[in-house]
Amino acid sequence: MVISVALVKMRDGESFESAFRRFKKSCEKAGILSEVKKREHFEKASVRLKKKSISARKRAMKKQRRGFGE
């Protein structure tokens, strides 16, 4: 099990809002929110594989569409 933690130390004279902005950005970089959303509800392995297959198909179609314009 991997636990990612976003840690932000407040700088001297820094406002709470700017520190909070840096914290949100570090959370986004670490992928914490996406991980939480992914684990919010249990997903059967078959459903997970089906979603993975669909997203791979979408990526392939997008890549194919880009290739025709060039």
**Amino acid occupying residue 61:** M
pLDDT tens for the chain, residues 1 to 70: 667 778 889 999 999 999 999 999 999 998 888 888 888 889 899 999 999 999 999 999 999 988 765 5
**Number of other residues whose CB lies within 10 A of the CB of residue 36:** 10
Is there a domain that residue 21 lies in?
yes
Is there a domain that residue 10 lies in?
no
| Domain ranges, residue 53 | 16-69
- Total domain count for the chain? 1
Is there a domain that residue 45 lies in?
yes
Is there a domain that residue 54 lies in?
yes
- Calculate ∠ Cα 60-62-68, nearest 5°: 105
Three-state SS at 69:
helix
**Rounded Cα–Cα distance for residues 61 and 42 (Å):** 29
Is there a domain that residue 24 lies in?
yes
Is there a domain that residue 39 lies in?
yes
